[in-house]
Amino acid sequence: MLPSTQGGIPLGCLITAGLTTSQAPFIEDARSRGQLYVKQPYELYTDENHQTWADLYQRIRPRWEQYANPHFLGGVECLCLPENRVPRLDEVNTFLQPRTGFRARAVSGYVPAFLFFDCLRRSEFPTTITIRPHDRLDYLPEPDIFHDIAGHVPMHTDPAFAAALVRFGDCAHTAAELAAGIRDEDERIARLTSRMKAMARFFWFTIEFGLMRDRQCLRASGSGLLSSYGELAHAIESPDVERCPLQLEWVVNQPFEIDRYQPLLFVIESFDHLFEEVGRLERWMSEGKLDHVAPGEPAVHKADLESFLQPR
């Protein structure tokens, strides 16, 4: 008798391997079949996977209380995130969707840029389902479910923040439409590349590594900070970090590196302020003000560029 299978791989092998980042046959199989959106195979998480979540959650929770913005803390309580096991996305969505319409949607890995922003436009958040190895709690260069669910999703319970994400999706559609109207191929690629750099930098310095003002104090609002035990405190306390009010012309021209604590962070006043700035980003794009931003990181990869150039 043939062994039972899931996605073409013997189920016994999948259960043994678990859903550890870069070591998950389930994910490898989905990618090999070109399957981007998947169902969270909850039965594949191992005891070690659940222990990794528990250790990450329990050690960062006191730092959230000290450094996170109040909207995030309210979101954590609203979502009833489990402390001792990996969350089920269906349970997360049960609490999330009635508040803002957003829902977490499981993916098999990297989502090309336009598809990612288009998901936001539809109030969907592409969510990684693997979790980092237990011996790498402090840093992983790629997203995992702790970064996505514990770092990003609590913010999605806030209506103003959720609206800013949807507007980001609109901005991506504007970029694609503007590119489609340029006949010369070289010019189209050059301008779209510049606009994508501007969007990526804005997203990085606000959604991923943003700070916000709460009365007279600074609090973390970016998911890259809120999911990092070490950088969360560093971002607020360290004298080595330059913290500046958000300035659009600066942000869109500011390169960044992903493999170090951020030396420069920008501060928003509120999520309504963030929404307004995303709208201004889109207007600048339409006016041609993002066609020649400063060179440097992040690189624009071919798959991301092509995702914007696909016929709509």
The residue-averaged pLDDT of 148-171 equals: 97
Q: Which domains does the chain have, with CATH numbers?
A: 47-309 (1.10.800.10)
pLDDT at 5 over 60: no
Q: Which residue has the higher pLDDT, 103 or 136?
A: 103
Helix (H, G, I), strand (E, B) or coil at 158: coil
- Closest alpha carbon to 30 in 11, 6, 2: 6
Supply the pLDDT for residue 140: 77
pLDDT tens-digit map of 230-280:
999 999 999 999 999 999 999 999 999 998 999 999 999 999 999 999 999
Peptide bond into 298 cis (omega under 30): yes
Supply the pLDDT for residue 312: 65
SS3 content of the chain, % helix, strand, coil (to 5): 55, 10, 35
Supply the pLDDT for residue 139: 79
pLDDT tens-digit map of 18-62:
999 989 999 999 999 999 999 999 999 999 999 999 999 999 999
Lowest mean pLDDT segment, chosen from 70-84, 102-116, 137-151:
137-151
pLDDT at 16 over 90: no
The residue-averaged pLDDT of 144-165 equals: 97
User: Tokens 């594949």 map to which residue?
Assistant: 44
DSSP 64-80: HHHHB-HHHHHHHHHHT
pLDDT at 295 over 80: yes
Supply the pLDDT for residue 142: 85
Supply the pLDDT for residue 17: 66
Q: What are phi and psi of 299, to 5 degrees?
A: -70, 150
Strand pairing class (264-268; 211-214): parallel
pLDDT at 6 over 50: no
Q: How far apart are CA 286 and CA 266, in angstroms?
A: 24
